[in-house]
Amino acid sequence: MTDPTPAVEPTVLLDGLAMVESPRWHDGRLWFAHWGTGEILAVDLNGTSEVVGRGPEGLGWTIDWLPDGRLLVTGPELLCTEPDGSVTPYADLSGIGPSGWNDIVVDGRANVYVTSIAFEFLAGGAPKAGMIVLVTPDGRSRQVAGDLEFPNGMVITPDDSTLIISESFAGRLTAFDIEADGSLANRRVWAEGLGPDAICLDAEGAIWVGTADTRISTGRDDSPGGAVVRIREGGEVLDRIEHDRPIFGCALGGPDRKTLFLLAAEWRGTDQVADVVAARTGQVLTAPAPAPGVGWP
C-alpha cells in the first residue's frame, strides 16, 4: 500500500505520562490505562485529568465497559468494578489461557471478548499462538479463535456482526464474522503491512491503525517515530498522521466522535521498560478526524 502525504499535525493534550494504552471515549472524557502506575486516567478536551480507577501495577492490561456501566479490567484476571465500588472477578478464565489477559472489547449484547498473547512478552518469552476468549452475559467462557500472532486491539462493527483484531507480530488486521451465539467464523485478512495495536473504526468503514514503518524523519537522521493511517478494507490508505515517537493506540471521541485521540510514548525494547516508565515520555494527542467513530469500543 502507498501512503499519502501526512495529513495534520497532532496536538498534545496531556504530557509527562508513563506508558499509555487502551484509549476509550466514555462519559464525556478519554479514559486510558496508565501502565507502570496502576492507574486508570480520564482526561477531558481541555486537558484536565484525574485518576478514576485502578488496574494492575504492571503492563499489558486494558479497560472497557459493560452496557450496564460496570468497568472491566484485564490483567492476571478479568475484574469488574461493581456499582458500590467493589472489585470482583467477572469470569473465571484460569482453565482456558496459559497467561494473563491483554486486550478487551464488549459488544452491544454484553458479549465480552478478551485476548491472550499466551507468552511472557516483557520477560523475553518465546512467542506462541495467541487466542480470543468469549465471555457471554451468563458468565460462561470459551475460546473462539486461536493461532493468532500477538492478538492485540479489537473493534466490533455497530451492528455486532464483525470483529476485527490486530495481529501485531503478523503486521495485519484480521476479521471474523460474529455468529448469533457470539462465536467467531469466516476468518479473513482485512489489511496487511501494518504495525497494529489499539485500533478504532469510523462511520465510513475505515480503521485508524499504526503503521509498520515506525521510523520517520524529525530533523535527526533516522530518529525513532511513529505514524497512524486511516485505511479501508484491503489496505487503501486514506489519511496519515506522523509523530516523533511510536503511537500505541487510537480512539475516536469528543461530542461528535470526530476527535482522534492518539496515545504515544518512547519505546526502548522489552529490557528497558522500567526506564521508559520512569522517563515519562507518554502523551495523549488529538487531531480532527474526517468521519466520526462508530461501533465498539
Give residue 269's region: left, alpha or beta (phi > 0; psi -120 to 50).
Answer: left
Q: How confident is the model at residue 57 (pLDDT cuts 50, 70, 90)?
A: confident
The dihedral sign for the CA sequence 70, 75, 78, 80: negative
Domain presence at residue 296: no
Q: Rounded distance, CA 63 to CA 88, Å?
A: 15
Mean pLDDT of all residues in 94-101: 80
Of the candidate ranges 90-99, 133-142, 147-156, 237-246, the one whose mean pLDDT is the lowest: 90-99
Of the candidate ranges 21-25, 146-150, 196-200, 224-228, the one whose mean pLDDT is the lowest: 224-228
Question: CB-based contacts of 182: which residues, under 8 Å, 6+ apart?
Answer: 109, 111, 134, 136, 144
- HSE-CB at 34 with a 13 A cutoff on CA atoms is 25
Quick one: DSSP state of residue 59?
S
- CATH number at 139 reads 2.120.10.30
Domain presence at residue 279: yes
Domain presence at residue 2: no
Higher pLDDT among residues 221 and 204, named by residue? 204
Question: CB-based contacts of 140: which residues, under 8 Å, 6+ apart?
Answer: 91
For the beta carbon of residue 49, count every other beta carbon within 10 angstroms: 19
Q: Rounded distance, CA 75 to CA 57, Å?
A: 10
Three-state DSSP state, 150: coil
Domain presence at residue 293: no
Count the domains in the chain.
Answer: 1
Count of all residues that appear for the chain in the document = 297
Domain presence at residue 94: yes
Please classify residue 58 by burial: count the beta carbons closer than 10 Å to its beta carbon, then call 0-12 exposed, 13-18 middle and 19+ buried.
middle
Domain presence at residue 62: yes
Domain presence at residue 92: yes
Show the domain range for 65. 11-288
Domain presence at residue 6: no
